């Protein structure tokens, strides 16, 4: 079968035909890495350098594995589906099935998905009499998975405190329950496979001798355990062909360890490093912007993307007065692109946080522009938003059975499914709502459901007379939703979405006031709904079937994380503000800013022809208007590459500077011992990051972004700032 080696560029050809030794391929965005990986496999097999059984190829997603099979089928004289090609979890599962006895598993062991695993964790908690309020099942689940991905069993963990000691006990009990029931979760697949190879020398030597060539895709996304698993399989002298891009390592929150690439180069004695720098996707200005941005990162192996496609159009930067104006800009430009012939499906709007989608979705919905949220749910479909709306619906109409069932036991308050079934039977028998039928129950069921009903009554009384946004914010806090998600290991994004629901209420109320509908002035019958009911109707309408159906041309909405691996003719990157992108949480983490910069690099390199960067001078946060600073990443893009669609406004007087566009960042500029980019702590405002500085001595002052507390200028001499 033809390999078409003549169609490869010199660097691709060098990688494909490299000698049988360890090789690290730095494959930049749009450089043809999948083509190189699959052609390498076909070249090894067709040239007789290795048998098909001697190849192990690992990737991260089933989609990528299927693409490898399709490409190989066109280059090999046989069906490649029998080869060991797949995801880490898929290949680990295959190994455990073949050696289930040695692994201590039944032959037909079942695999738990995330929901099944959560249910199993809840059963352990119940069996041990654990308090789900104190030990959140989701948090315990996340803890177990994180430890497994570190290669640690319960008995190998040194507890940091009493809480972790309790979780270690729960982890051990969960493991015992899984062994007893003959099941394995996803994290267990790789850990059990690693342990099997580590303790069974005969099996390890068998596989190490069998696989002569190990090829790994997206190497920058491997975690510690995956790297150790690969080292065991390569211990017999296999040549490891690692393909990755350290500049696109954006999954640290999932356990990815970008340092694995440097470790591989050192520990395996890699003598050859091939850089794939020619980009076949984007125009030159886009690549120049990406190169300039990522060059600021200190810990990288280094490469520079280039193209023969020409410079193309400059990047467009838009400064909006508000997040609503920013969303309107996106809609207008997308409509103009569509009129010029660009398919809607080739246009993407990217954002750092899922919560940002709400304002954009509203603008698209209002304009009648079809859209699809890729890799996630539309704003009003998200579980945490639906939970909050259910509480609000009960405030407005206690007889709403669907809302009652949704939150009667959320956050968990000891009301089980059987209790709700008894309540439903009583309601049917009496022809009443669930709310009313609580009176018909007795004993513990009546007590538990009565307490929930009392909570809703109390919320209604406490929110009476409050403005709409204040009602929503109070319900989120007093219902327990906020505390519940704050306790979750990965609850930050859900909290952001709940905060955005408060913003939605504030915006809706303002629009209603402006239109006169809030008082009924715009209603000829004088029967306008009260603000809460009007907002609930609005939320229900926007949650309707407005997202484009499959197969229909639609603009694509997604987070930057979800966009990795995709490409579009035109890309809008919205919300480029310090504290949002880079995200405020990352600024307080070690190397967090570098990962945020890699994330921005990924976003920029999704664009083929046009790239629009936007930020808002003011943005709604938790129902209040907050001033925002342009992202430092905008200052890291050379001015000659961009065109400002709206001119930057003149620098104001120092006393009023905080709400305005800032001067170009003076990285490292000192002021009274502090510098731009430094993390600091203030006794009143908390943790923050210095974004500007001026003066020295007694005149020194710094501008600090305190996240939720806003951006403030502080005199260093009296501010009581401390380094973080």
Residues tagged active-site: 33-34, 217-218, 248, 606
DSSP 600: H
Angle, to 10 degrees, between the axis of helix 357-367 and the axis of helix 492-515?
Answer: 40
- Could you check whether the bond before residue 411 is cis, i.e. omega within 30 degrees of 0? yes
- Looking at the DSSP bridge assignments, the partners of residue 689 are 679, 705
Query: CA angle 315-318-322, nearest 5°?
Result: 155
Neighbours of 311 (CB within 10 A): 13
Cα–Cα distance between 68 and 37 in angstroms, integer?
Answer: 8
List CB contacts of 340: < 8 A, sequence separation 6 or more. Answer: none
Closest CA to 701 of 677, 718, 681, 683: 718
If we measure between CA atoms, which residue out of 401, 396, 395 comes closest to residue 434? 401
Q: How far apart are CA 491 and CA 495, in angstroms?
A: 6
**Tokens representing residue 395 in the block:** 């405030």
- Exposed, middle or buried, 315 (CB in 10 Å: 0-12/13-18/19+)? buried
CA distances for 117 relative to 150, 178, 450, 548, angstroms: 18, 10, 31, 32
Structure tokens at 485: 């998600």
Distance of CA 236 to the CA centre of its chain: 38
CB-CB contact of 628 with 578 (8 Å): yes
Q: Which residues is 258 bridged to in the sheet?
A: none
**Which residues sit opposite 682 in a β-bridge?**
686
Q: What distance in Å separates the CA atoms of residue 440 and residue 438, rounded to the nearest whole number? A: 5
Token pair belonging to 112: 């738990």
Residue-wise DSSP of 45-113: HHTTSS-GGGEEEEES-HHHHHHHHHHHHTTSSS-GGGSEEEEHHHHHHHHHHHTHHHHT--TTPEEE-
CB burial of 388-412 (b: ≥16 within 10 Å; e: otherwise) equals: bbbbbbbbbebebbebbebbbbbbb
Maximum distance among all Cα pairs of the chain, rounded to whole angstroms: 84
């Amino acid at each position: 079968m033809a390999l078409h080696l003549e169609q490869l560029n010199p660097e691709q050809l060098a990688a494909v035909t490299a000698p049988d030794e360890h090789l690290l391929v730095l494959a930049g965005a749009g450089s043809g890495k999948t083509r190189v990986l699959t052609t390498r496999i076909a070249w090894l097999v067709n040239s007789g350098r290795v048998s098909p059984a001697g190849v192990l190829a690992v990737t991260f997603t089933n989609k990528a594995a299927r693409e490898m099979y399709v490409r190989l089928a066109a280059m090999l004289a046989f069906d490649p589906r029998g080869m060991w090609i797949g995801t880490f979890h898929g290949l680990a599962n295959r190994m455990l099935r073949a050696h289930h006895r040695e692994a201590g598993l039944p032959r037909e062991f079942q695999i738990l998905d995330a929901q099944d695993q959560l249910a199993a964790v809840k059963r352990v908690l119940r069996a041990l009499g654990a308090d789900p309020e104190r030990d959140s099942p989701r948090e315990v689940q996340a803890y177990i998975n994180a430890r497994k991905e570190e290669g640690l069993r319960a008995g190998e963990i040194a507890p940091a405190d009493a809480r972790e000691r309790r979780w270690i006990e729960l982890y051990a009990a969960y493991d015992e329950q899984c062994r007893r029931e003959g099941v394995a979760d996803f994290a267990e697949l790789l850990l059990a496979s690693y342990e099997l190879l580590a303790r069974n020398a005969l099996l390890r030597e068998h596989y190490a001798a069998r696989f002569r060539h190990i090829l790994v895709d997206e190497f920058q996304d491997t975690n510690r355990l995956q790297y150790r698993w690969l080292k065991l399989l390569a211990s017999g002298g296999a040549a490891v062909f690692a393909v990755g891009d350290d500049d696109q390592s954006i999954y640290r929150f999932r356990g990815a360890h970008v340092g694995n690439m440097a470790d591989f180069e050192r520990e395996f004695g890699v003598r050859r490093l091939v850089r794939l720098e020619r980009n076949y996707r984007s125009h030159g200005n886009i690549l120049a912007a990406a190169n300039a941005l990522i060059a600021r990162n200190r810990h990288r192996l280094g490469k520079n993307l280039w193209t023969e496609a020409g410079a193309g159009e400059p990047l467009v930067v838009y400064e909006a007065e508000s997040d609503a104006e920013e969303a309107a800009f996106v809609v207008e430009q997308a409509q103009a692109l569509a009129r010029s012939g660009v398919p809607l499906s080739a246009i993407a709007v990217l954002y750092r946080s899922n919560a940002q989608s709400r304002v954009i979705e509203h603008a698209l919905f209002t304009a009648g522009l079809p859209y699809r949220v890729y890799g996630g749910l539309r704003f009003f479909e998200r579980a945490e938003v639906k939970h909050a709306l259910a509480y609000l619906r009960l405030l407005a109409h206690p007889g709403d059975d669907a809302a009652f069932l949704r939150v009667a036991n959320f956050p968990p308050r000891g009301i089980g499914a059987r209790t709700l079934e008894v309540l439903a039977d009583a309601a049917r028998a009496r022809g009443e709502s669930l709310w009313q039928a609580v009176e018909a129950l007795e004993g513990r069921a009546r007590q538990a459901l009565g307490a929930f009903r009392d909570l809703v009554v109390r919320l209604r009384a406490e929110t009476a007379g409050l403005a709409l946004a204040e009602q929503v914010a109070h319900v989120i806090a007093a219902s327990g939703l906020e505390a519940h998600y704050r306790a979750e290991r990965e609850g930050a994004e859900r909290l952001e979405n709940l905060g955005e629901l408060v913003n939605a209420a504030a915006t809706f109320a303002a629009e209603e006031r402006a239109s006169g509908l809030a008082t009924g002035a715009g209603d000829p019958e004088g029967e306008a709904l009260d603000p809460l009911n009007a907002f609930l109707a609005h939320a229900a309408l926007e949650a309707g079937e407005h997202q484009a159906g499959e197969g229909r041309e639609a603009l694509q909405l997604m987070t930057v994380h979800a966009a990795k691996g995709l490409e579009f003719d035109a890309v809008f990157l919205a919300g480029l503000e310090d504290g949002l992108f880079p995200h405020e949480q990352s600024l307080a983490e070690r190397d967090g800013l570098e990962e945020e910069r890699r994330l921005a690099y990924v976003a920029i390199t999704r664009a083929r022809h046009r790239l629009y960067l936007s930020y808002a001078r003011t943005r709604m946060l938790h129902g209040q208007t907050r001033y925002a600073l342009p992202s430092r990443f905008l200052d890291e893009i050379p001015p000659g590459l961009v065109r400002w669609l709206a001119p930057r406004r003149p620098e104001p007087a120092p006393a009023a500077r905080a709400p305005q566009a800032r001067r170009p960042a003076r990285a490292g500029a000192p002021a009274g011992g502090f510098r731009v980019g430094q993390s600091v702590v203030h006794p009143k405002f908390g943790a923050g990051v210095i974004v500007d500085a001026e003066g020295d001595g007694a005149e020194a002052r710094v501008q600090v972004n305190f996240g939720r507390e806003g951006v403030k200028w502080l005199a260093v001499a009296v501010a009581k700032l401390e380094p973080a």
